[in-house]
């Protein structure tokens, strides 16, 4: 079924040709816009793919048979653009694959991105920060949690990025889940440690609406909603990642807060509904 997103404002048959052009060197732009009160949230799709369940941990044979009989799960990679009060805030940058074409399709130039909020510093989230060794967002302030910065600061792949953006980085300590202390107007940062030591989720709120950008709290959202104990080999601390996932799933389902995630299949957002006994079901937008 065709997702509800805006495919470069083209209809479906044209999308197919846009994707064909992609393989010939022209990028496809795939974005999806939602409103959170006065905030405009746009998913910027970097890629869509299936994952293989051999990367998943704590996944019982019975659950595999039920939830992933063909051995795969639906996934993807998204960054998000948050626009309010005339400001452009990017949450993660993906690998930088489609990012700049997606931003251009929204008339946002890299130099007009005011702020970049990082959820964590894995390459599929910070890859768009450098191109050919050069800074891609010369006028952006980059926010990263203190613990995340500490963990990666001497890593050979991350250090060049931190060095290039040295004067643009703000380190901060995310709040407890559910706190309402703004990091930026309408955006709170909450601790979701485990996937990486400083993994951070971002809570958007405006008027009576809200949404939580859950970052990499899920990689296989349908499976991990049903069985939040399922972790992934990419988790630095799988046990802590499970704890964070359960706490946040409980919070968003109790408060009916929609979610958007970096590895949630396009359009990257939906609702987590409790089905009892610590299980949830993910309803995509």
Interface residues with Zn ion (CB under 5 A)? 122, 124, 216
C-alpha 87/C-alpha 64 separation (Å) is 44
Q: For the chain, what is the largest distance between any 2 Cα atoms, rounded to a whole number of angstroms? A: 51
Residue in the block written with tokens 């643009």: 168
- Closest CB to Zn ion among residues 39, 99: 99
User: To the nearest whole angstrom, how small is the minimum distance from the Cβ of residue 34 to Zn ion?
Assistant: 21
C-alpha 27/C-alpha 230 separation (Å) is 34
- Closest CB to Zn ion among residues 199, 205: 199
- Closest CB to Zn ion among residues 7, 282: 282
User: To the nearest whole angstrom, how small is the minimum distance from the Cβ of residue 263 to Zn ion?
Assistant: 6
C-alpha 161/C-alpha 144 separation (Å) is 12
User: To the nearest whole angstrom, how small is the minimum distance from the Cβ of residue 28 to Zn ion?
Assistant: 21
User: To the nearest whole angstrom, how small is the minimum distance from the Cβ of residue 217 to Zn ion?
Assistant: 10
Q: Percentage helix, strand, coil, to 5, in the chain?
A: 25, 35, 35
User: To the nearest whole angstrom, how small is the minimum distance from the Cβ of residue 94 to Zn ion?
Assistant: 9
* 3-class secondary structure, 111: helix
User: To the nearest whole angstrom, how small is the minimum distance from the Cβ of residue 166 to Zn ion?
Assistant: 24
User: To the nearest whole angstrom, how small is the minimum distance from the Cβ of residue 186 to Zn ion?
Assistant: 24
- Closest CB to Zn ion among residues 39, 242: 242
- Closest CB to Zn ion among residues 34, 196: 196
Q: Rg for the chain (alpha carbons), in Å?
A: 18
Residue in the block written with tokens 């389902």: 253
Residue in the block written with tokens 């990642």: 241
- Closest CB to Zn ion among residues 124, 285: 124
C-alpha 5/C-alpha 213 separation (Å) is 18
What distance lies between CA 261 and its chain's CA centroid?
4
- Closest CB to Zn ion among residues 74, 122: 122
User: To the nearest whole angstrom, how small is the minimum distance from the Cβ of residue 52 to Zn ion?
Assistant: 15
Residue in the block written with tokens 């009160």: 37
Give the contacts of 160 (CB within 8 A, at least 6 positions apart): 130, 133
Handedness of CA 233, 235, 237, 242 (dihedral sign): negative
Give the contacts of 252 (CB within 8 A, at least 6 positions apart): 212, 214, 258, 259, 272
- Closest CB to Zn ion among residues 147, 195: 195
């Amino acid at each position: 079924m065709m997702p509800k997103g805006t495919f470069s404002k083209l209809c479906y048959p044209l999308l197919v040709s846009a994707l064909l052009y992609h393989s010939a060197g022209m990028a496809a732009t795939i974005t999806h816009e939602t409103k959170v009160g006065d905030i405009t949230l746009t998913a910027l799709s970097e890629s869509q793919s299936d994952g293989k369940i051999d990367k998943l941990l704590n996944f019982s044979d019975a659950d595999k048979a039920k939830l992933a009989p063909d051995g795969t799960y639906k996934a993807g990679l998204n960054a998000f653009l948050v626009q309010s009060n005339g400001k452009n805030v990017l949450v993660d940058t993906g690998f930088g694959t489609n990012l700049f074409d997606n931003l251009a399709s929204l008339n946002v130039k890299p130099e007009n991105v005011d702020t970049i909020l990082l959820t964590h510093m894995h390459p599929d989230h910070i890859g768009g920060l450098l191109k050919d060794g050069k800074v891609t967002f010369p006028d952006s302030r980059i926010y990263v949690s203190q613990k995340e910065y500490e963990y990666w600061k001497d890593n050979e792949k991350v250090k060049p990025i931190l060095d290039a953006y040295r004067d643009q980085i703000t380190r901060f300590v995310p709040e407890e889940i559910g706190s309402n202390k703004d990091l930026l107007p309408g955006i709170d940062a909450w601790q979701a440690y485990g996937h990486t030591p400083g993994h951070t989720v971002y809570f958007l709120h405006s008027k009576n609406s809200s949404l939580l950008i859950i970052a990499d709290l899920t990689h296989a959202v349908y499976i991990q909603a049903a069985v939040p104990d399922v972790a992934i080999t990419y988790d630095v601390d799988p046990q802590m990642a499970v704890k964070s996932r359960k706490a946040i799933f409980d919070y968003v389902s109790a408060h009916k807060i929609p979610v958007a995630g970096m590895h949630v299949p396009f359009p990257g957002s939906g609702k987590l509904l409790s089905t009892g006994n610590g299980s949830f079901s993910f309803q995509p937008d």
